[in-house]
Amino acid sequence: MTLEIVSPEATLFKGEVTSITLPGVDGSFQILNHHAPIVSILKEGEVKIVANSFNFGSTVAHRFAKVDNNTYLLPINSGTIEMKDNKVIVLAD
């Protein structure tokens, strides 16, 4: 599935991912390939991104914490998410 993470300052990430775990207001939840359409509000926490490869721009790489070669974490203060047609868009603060 395609993931795009956008902040007010820049596009933080855009690429193919295996899964994404998000801090929802009612608890953490995970989205996998071909998940049903969903729109949700996010609270402060970490977005966990699992992918086979990552390509961060040099201006935003410092925002991500590497867990292992296939996993990165991105701390957020709040945001929204939309999953539709196997594309996830995260608007994050």
What is residue 56's predicted lDDT score, i.e. its pLDDT?
A: 82
Domain ranges (residues) in the chain: 2-92
**pLDDT at site 3:** 97
Tokens linked to 61: 């790489």
pLDDT at position 73 is 98
> Which range among 1-5, 16-20, 53-57, 60-64 shows the weakest confidence by mean pLDDT?
53-57
- Tens of pLDDT, residue by residue over 34-84, are 999 999 999 999 999 999 999 887 889 999 999 999 999 999 999 999 999
CATH number of 2-92: 2.60.15.10
| pTM summary value | 0.94
Spatial CA neighbour of 87 closest among 25, 7, 6, 10:
6
